[in-house]
Protein backbone atom coordinates (compact mmCIF):
# COMPACT_ATOMS: atom_id res chain seq x y z
CA UNK A 1 0.00 0.00 0.00
CA UNK A 2 2.85 2.33 0.86
CA UNK A 3 4.22 1.95 -2.68
CA UNK A 4 0.81 2.84 -4.11
CA UNK A 5 0.71 6.13 -2.16
CA UNK A 6 4.34 6.97 -2.90
CA UNK A 7 3.72 6.38 -6.60
CA UNK A 8 0.59 8.54 -6.47
CA UNK A 9 2.45 11.32 -4.63
CA UNK A 10 5.33 11.24 -7.16
CA UNK A 11 2.92 11.41 -10.10
CA UNK A 12 1.01 14.30 -8.51
CA UNK A 13 4.31 16.11 -7.88
CA UNK A 14 5.23 15.65 -11.56
CA UNK A 15 1.88 17.17 -12.58
CA UNK A 16 2.43 20.11 -10.22
CA UNK A 17 5.97 20.62 -11.52
CA UNK A 18 4.78 20.54 -15.14
CA UNK A 19 2.11 23.13 -14.28
CA UNK A 20 4.68 25.39 -12.60
CA UNK A 21 6.99 25.16 -15.63
CA UNK A 22 4.15 25.86 -18.05
CA UNK A 23 2.89 28.83 -16.04
CA UNK A 24 6.40 30.30 -15.73
CA UNK A 25 6.45 30.79 -19.50
CA UNK A 26 3.37 33.02 -19.40
CA UNK A 27 4.42 36.59 -19.96
CA UNK A 28 3.83 39.16 -17.26
CA UNK A 29 4.74 42.82 -17.48
CA UNK A 30 8.28 42.06 -16.37
CA UNK A 31 11.18 40.58 -18.27
CA UNK A 32 11.99 37.03 -17.23
CA UNK A 33 14.44 34.46 -18.57
CA UNK A 34 11.72 31.80 -18.31
CA UNK A 35 9.84 33.57 -21.13
CA UNK A 36 12.42 32.25 -23.58
CA UNK A 37 12.61 28.68 -22.28
CA UNK A 38 9.63 27.59 -24.37
CA UNK A 39 11.07 29.01 -27.60
CA UNK A 40 13.03 26.44 -29.58
CA UNK A 41 15.62 27.48 -32.16
CA UNK A 42 16.68 25.31 -35.09
CA UNK A 43 20.40 24.81 -34.42
CA UNK A 44 22.04 22.57 -37.03
CA UNK A 45 18.92 20.43 -37.35
CA UNK A 46 18.23 20.23 -33.61
CA UNK A 47 15.57 22.26 -31.81
CA UNK A 48 17.14 23.87 -28.73
CA UNK A 49 15.76 26.27 -26.09
CA UNK A 50 17.42 29.70 -26.21
CA UNK A 51 18.90 29.49 -22.67
CA UNK A 52 20.84 26.38 -23.77
CA UNK A 53 22.60 28.22 -26.59
CA UNK A 54 23.12 31.70 -25.19
CA UNK A 55 23.63 33.70 -22.04
CA UNK A 56 20.33 35.35 -21.20
CA UNK A 57 20.14 38.18 -18.67
CA UNK A 58 17.49 40.60 -17.47
CA UNK A 59 18.48 44.25 -17.54
CA UNK A 60 16.57 46.97 -15.67
CA UNK A 61 13.53 44.70 -15.27
CA UNK A 62 12.25 45.56 -18.77
CA UNK A 63 14.95 44.22 -21.10
CA UNK A 64 16.13 40.74 -21.98
CA UNK A 65 19.69 40.56 -23.28
CA UNK A 66 20.66 37.45 -25.25
CA UNK A 67 24.31 36.83 -25.99
CA UNK A 68 24.62 33.71 -28.19
CA UNK A 69 27.70 31.55 -27.72
CA UNK A 70 27.79 31.07 -31.50
CA UNK A 71 27.26 34.46 -33.21
CA UNK A 72 26.08 32.74 -36.40
CA UNK A 73 22.85 31.74 -34.60
CA UNK A 74 21.66 35.32 -34.07
CA UNK A 75 19.34 35.32 -37.11
CA UNK A 76 17.82 31.94 -36.13
CA UNK A 77 17.23 33.12 -32.55
CA UNK A 78 15.60 36.36 -33.76
CA UNK A 79 13.37 34.41 -36.15
CA UNK A 80 12.28 31.96 -33.40
CA UNK A 81 11.40 34.86 -31.06
CA UNK A 82 9.39 36.63 -33.76
CA UNK A 83 7.50 33.43 -34.61
CA UNK A 84 6.65 32.73 -30.95
CA UNK A 85 3.27 33.83 -29.58
CA UNK A 86 4.87 36.15 -27.01
CA UNK A 87 4.54 39.27 -29.16
CA UNK A 88 8.16 40.33 -28.55
CA UNK A 89 10.36 42.09 -31.11
CA UNK A 90 14.11 41.43 -30.88
CA UNK A 91 16.75 43.92 -32.05
CA UNK A 92 20.32 42.92 -32.77
CA UNK A 93 23.68 44.62 -33.22
CA UNK A 94 25.31 41.51 -34.69
CA UNK A 95 26.63 40.21 -31.35
CA UNK A 96 23.83 40.72 -28.85
CA UNK A 97 20.04 40.54 -29.12
CA UNK A 98 17.98 42.91 -27.00
CA UNK A 99 14.28 42.55 -26.34
CA UNK A 100 12.17 45.25 -24.75
CA UNK A 101 9.33 43.65 -22.79
CA UNK A 102 6.50 46.17 -23.17
CA UNK A 103 3.96 46.64 -20.40
CA UNK A 104 0.79 44.62 -20.91
CA UNK A 105 -2.53 46.22 -21.80
CA UNK A 106 -5.49 45.63 -19.48
CA UNK A 107 -7.18 43.45 -22.12
CA UNK A 108 -4.05 41.33 -22.60
CA UNK A 109 -3.76 40.90 -18.82
CA UNK A 110 -7.33 39.55 -18.67
CA UNK A 111 -6.59 37.17 -21.55
CA UNK A 112 -3.48 35.92 -19.77
CA UNK A 113 -5.43 35.36 -16.54
CA UNK A 114 -7.99 33.29 -18.49
CA UNK A 115 -5.19 31.28 -20.08
CA UNK A 116 -3.52 30.68 -16.70
CA UNK A 117 -6.82 29.56 -15.16
CA UNK A 118 -7.27 27.10 -18.04
CA UNK A 119 -3.77 25.72 -17.38
CA UNK A 120 -4.65 25.35 -13.69
CA UNK A 121 -7.82 23.47 -14.54
CA UNK A 122 -5.83 21.08 -16.76
CA UNK A 123 -3.43 20.50 -13.85
CA UNK A 124 -6.34 19.85 -11.47
CA UNK A 125 -7.79 17.35 -13.97
CA UNK A 126 -4.43 15.56 -14.13
CA UNK A 127 -4.38 15.32 -10.31
CA UNK A 128 -7.96 14.01 -10.26
CA UNK A 129 -7.09 11.40 -12.91
CA UNK A 130 -4.28 10.14 -10.67
CA UNK A 131 -6.75 10.01 -7.74
CA UNK A 132 -9.18 7.99 -9.88
CA UNK A 133 -6.43 5.52 -10.82
CA UNK A 134 -5.42 5.14 -7.15
CA UNK A 135 -9.07 4.59 -6.16
CA UNK A 136 -9.47 1.98 -8.92
CA UNK A 137 -6.40 0.19 -7.60
CA UNK A 138 -7.82 0.25 -4.06
CA UNK A 139 -11.16 -1.17 -5.29
CA UNK A 140 -9.29 -3.94 -7.10
CA UNK A 141 -7.34 -4.82 -3.94
CA UNK A 142 -10.55 -4.84 -1.88
CA UNK A 143 -12.30 -7.06 -4.43
CA UNK A 144 -9.35 -9.48 -4.44
CA UNK A 145 -9.44 -9.57 -0.63
CA UNK A 146 -6.00 -7.99 -0.18
CA UNK A 147 -7.43 -5.26 2.05
CA UNK A 148 -10.42 -5.16 4.41
CA UNK A 149 -13.43 -2.86 4.11
CA UNK A 150 -12.12 -0.67 6.96
CA UNK A 151 -8.66 -0.40 5.38
CA UNK A 152 -10.29 0.41 2.05
CA UNK A 153 -12.14 3.39 3.57
CA UNK A 154 -9.06 4.54 5.48
CA UNK A 155 -6.93 4.39 2.32
CA UNK A 156 -9.66 6.20 0.36
CA UNK A 157 -9.48 9.04 2.88
CA UNK A 158 -5.69 9.16 2.52
CA UNK A 159 -5.95 9.36 -1.27
CA UNK A 160 -8.48 12.19 -0.94
CA UNK A 161 -6.21 14.09 1.48
CA UNK A 162 -3.31 13.69 -0.96
CA UNK A 163 -5.48 14.98 -3.80
CA UNK A 164 -6.70 17.96 -1.75
CA UNK A 165 -3.09 18.80 -0.82
CA UNK A 166 -1.96 18.97 -4.45
CA UNK A 167 -5.04 20.83 -5.67
CA UNK A 168 -4.35 23.35 -2.89
CA UNK A 169 -0.77 23.77 -4.15
CA UNK A 170 -2.06 24.37 -7.69
CA UNK A 171 -4.42 27.05 -6.31
CA UNK A 172 -1.51 28.76 -4.51
CA UNK A 173 0.60 28.85 -7.69
CA UNK A 174 -2.38 30.12 -9.71
CA UNK A 175 -3.14 32.88 -7.20
CA UNK A 176 0.49 34.02 -7.20
CA UNK A 177 0.64 34.10 -11.01
CA UNK A 178 -2.66 35.97 -11.31
CA UNK A 179 -1.38 38.58 -8.86
CA UNK A 180 1.85 38.86 -10.88
CA UNK A 181 -0.05 39.30 -14.16
CA UNK A 182 -2.48 41.90 -12.77
CA UNK A 183 0.22 43.97 -11.06
CA UNK A 184 0.92 47.00 -13.21
Q: Which tens digits make up the pLDDT trace of 76-97?
A: 999 888 888 777 888 998 889 9
Write down the pLDDT at residue 158.
93
| Domain 2-24+105-182: top CATH class | mainly alpha
Q: Averaged over 113-120, what is the pLDDT?
A: 92
Pick one of 1.10.1050.10, 1.10.10.10, 3.30.1360.40, 3.30.365.10 as the CATH number of 33-100. 3.30.1360.40
Helices (H), the chain: 2-24, 74-83, 106-143, 149-182
d(CA 57, CA 92): 15
Does the structure show a pLDDT above 90 at 170? yes
Burial level of 118, CB count in 10 A (0-12/13-18/19+)?
A: exposed
Neighbours of 75 (CB within 10 A): 11
Write down the pLDDT at residue 15.
94
Neighbours of 17 (CB within 10 A): 10
Residues 6+ apart with CB under 8 A from 106: none
Question: What is the value of pTM for the model shown?
Answer: 0.71
For 137-159, the pLDDT digits (tens) are 999 999 998 889 899 999 999 99
| Boundaries of every domain in the chain | 2-24+105-182, 33-100
Amino acid sequence: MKELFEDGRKRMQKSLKAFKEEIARVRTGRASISLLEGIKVDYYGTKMPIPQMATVTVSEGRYLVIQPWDVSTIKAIEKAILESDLGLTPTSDGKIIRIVVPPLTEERRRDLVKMVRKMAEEARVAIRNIRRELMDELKKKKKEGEISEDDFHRFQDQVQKLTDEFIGKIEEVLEEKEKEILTV
